[in-house]
Copies of this chain bind each other. A is one copy, B any other.
């Protein structure tokens, strides 16, 4: 596992909310919630193919440092996944409430398969 992940107890609500208070990172979280663990590149492609890799790296860092996602190496890829359990333990209901109504997406067609 890559460094910088906060312990569950170190996760701060304000950091989680700030991390999610950005449309790009909110989409990242939606994608991970729907598709499960994904490589950085896969998520990036779903998100916005024109976005630079270094910008994406920035967003992985914000999400990772705030405790929203895990990031772990696998071969030459880095796999991203939601810290669903830790967030549920620390802030019960928060993630479901965010994801439950997160269908008001502007770009990513994540609603296509629902229903």
Contact = CB atoms under 8 A, between A and B. Distances in A.
Contacts of A18: 17-18, 21-22
A101 interface: yes
Interface of A: 12-23, 26, 90-94, 96-98, 100-102, 104
Q: Would you call the interface of chain A mostly helix, strand, loop, or mixed?
A: helix
Closest 9 CB pairs of A and B: A18-B21, A17-B21, A93-B97, A94-B97, A21-B21, A17-B20, A91-B101, A14-B23, A17-B17
Contacts of A19: 21
A92 B92 CA distance: 13
Nearest to A101: B91
Nearest to A26: B14
Nearest to A102: B13
A98 B21 contact: no
A94 B98 contact: yes
Contacts of A96: 93
A17 B17 CA distance: 5
12 contacts: A13-B26, A15-B21, A16-B21, A17-B20, A17-B98, A19-B21, A91-B101, A92-B97, A93-B93, A93-B97, A93-B100, A94-B101
